[in-house]
Amino acid sequence: MKIYYIIEDNEKQGPFSIEELKTKRVFPKTPVWEKSFDGWKEAGFVPELADILEKEPPEYIPSKKEPIPTAIQKENSDNDLDYSKVEDIAKVNYKYAIIITVVYILLRLFARQFTLSITGIIISTILVVTIWFYFRKYFDGVRDKSTSKWTNLMMGAYGLLALVNLFALSVEWRSTSIMALVEEIIFKDGDSAQELVTAISIIEIGLLVTFALIFITGIRIIIANKNHKFSLKRIAFSAMIFIPISMSVDLIQSIGLNEALIFKEDLDMFSTAIFLLPYYFLLYHFYRAETEDATK
C-alpha cells in the first residue's frame, strides 16, 4: 500500500493512504510525495490520485471600478438614485448658495435698472450661473452625471443671453417702442433698415437657442425627478415658464423698447417678483439642503 505526504498550509502532512487522502482537500496543484517519487510533485501529475482531486477555483481578478461610497451604496440598495441628506452627499456648503440666491433676488427686485446695464448684465449673469452651478453640484455628488451635464445647459443659456443682451445694447436703436421699430423697418429703405433687420435676426436666433436650452434642461430635470426623493418638478416647470418670459422682457427694456410693456414702476416690480419664482424654489431647496432633509 502506497503512503503519501502532502503540503497543507505550508506544512508537511501525513502519512496518508489514498483512502485517507479522500478526507483531505487535495487540489491539482497540491504538492504530494511518495517514496517512489524523485521529489515533490503536484497532485495533478499523479495518475492514481486523479479521482480524489478537487477542482481549483478560478483565479480572482479584482475589479478596477472605483468603489462606491458607503452612503451611496446604502441608498442604491433601495432605488438606484434615491438619496437622503443632500448636503451630506453632495459635500457642498449650501450657505453660499443661499447668500448668492438672496443677493440675486434682491438685485433683480430693487436694482432692476442697474441689471439692465452692461455692468449689471455681467454681474447678474455671474450670480445666476453660480446659483445653477450649486444646484448642479448635488447631481455631481450622487454621480448622476447625465442630469449634471444637462443642467450645464441652463448655465450656457444664461451665458448666451448675456451675449445677446450685450449685442443688442451695441445696436443703434432709433425707435423707442416695438411698433415704431416695426414701422421704421417696413416704411424705410436703405442700409439702416437692413442693419436693423440683420440685428433683429441675430437677436431672435440667440433667444430661440437660449429658450431651447432652457426647455431641454427643464424636461431633463423632470425626467430625472423620479430618481430623487425631493421634488425637482416645481423648479423645472417654473424655469421653463418664467425664465424665457423674463429674458424677453429684460431684453426689450434694456434697449429701451419698453413703452408698450411697462406702464408703472409698481407693475414693473410686481412682474419681476413673479418672474423670479424659479429662484424662490431654488432658494427654498438650498435652505432645506443646508438645514434639514431636503428629500422629504
The answer to whether 285 and 135 are in contact (CB under 8 A) is yes
What confidence score (pLDDT) does residue 65 get? 53
Q: Which long-range contacts (CB under 8 A, 24 or more apart) does 152-158 make?
A: 153/213, 153/214, 153/216, 153/217, 154/213, 154/214, 154/217, 154/239, 155/129, 156/213, 157/210, 157/211, 157/213, 157/214, 157/217, 158/125, 158/128, 158/129, 158/132
In this predicted structure, what is the pLDDT of residue 64? Answer: 56
Q: Which amino acid is at 258?
A: N
Q: What is the pLDDT along the chain (296 residues), one digit of tens a residue?
A: 788 888 887 778 778 887 787 778 787 888 888 888 878 888 778 878 777 777 665 565 665 555 545 444 444 433 444 334 554 555 677 889 999 999 999 999 998 888 888 899 999 999 999 999 988 887 777 677 888 888 899 999 999 999 988 888 887 665 555 555 555 555 555 556 677 777 788 888 988 999 999 999 889 888 876 666 566 788 889 999 999 988 888 887 777 655 544 444 445 778 889 999 999 999 988 887 777 654 44
Per-residue confidence (pLDDT) for residue 67, from 0 to 100: 54
Q: Is the pTM of this model over 0.85?
A: no
- The 3-class secondary structure across 109-170, one letter per residue, is HHCHHHHCCHHHHHHHHHHHHHHHHHHHHHHHHCCCHHHHHHHHHHHHHHHHHHHHHHHHHH
The DSSP output letter for 30 is S
Phi-psi region of 53 (alpha: psi -120 to 50; beta: other; left: phi over 0): beta
What's the pLDDT score for residue 129?
94
Residue that has been written with the C-alpha cell 419698453 in this structure: 258
Give CA–CA dist 295/78, Å, rounded: 15
Q: pLDDT at position 180, please?
A: 53
> What spatial distance separates the first Cα and last Cα of the chain, rounded to whole Å?
76
